[in-house]
Amino acid sequence: MSWKIDCREATHLVLQGEDQPLGWADRLRLRMHLAICAACPRFVRQVSLMRHAIDGWRAYKDEGDGPGEPPAAP
């Protein structure tokens, strides 16, 4: 296993980390890549922004009676 990864592998690890915890070796490899890459930290921020937006949408949707939803039955 090489400690140096490219952006494609870093992207894969970021997305995999959204679904399940990464092992210590993958976390270290990703952290080392993020320290030297200009683009991948932006991708991490974009993924985080999307995750927070989706969580906010789910919370809003769970409140019910949002725009475009039929009124709740009494």
What pLDDT is stored for residue 71 in this prediction?
A: 53
Helices (H) and strands (E) in the chain, counts: 3, 0
Work out the pLDDT band at 6, boundaries 50, 70, 90. Answer: very high
* Tally of CA atoms within 13 A in the half-sphere of 4 that contains its CB: 2
Q: Is the pLDDT of residue 68 over 60?
A: no
What pLDDT is stored for residue 50 in this prediction?
A: 93
- Measured CA to CA, the distance from residue 11 to residue 26 in angstroms comes to 12
Neighbours of 5 (CB within 10 A): 19
Give per-residue pLDDT as tens, 14-55.
Answer: 999 999 999 999 999 999 999 999 999 999 999 999 999 988
- Measured CA to CA, the distance from residue 43 to residue 25 in angstroms comes to 21
What pLDDT is stored for residue 3 in this prediction?
A: 80
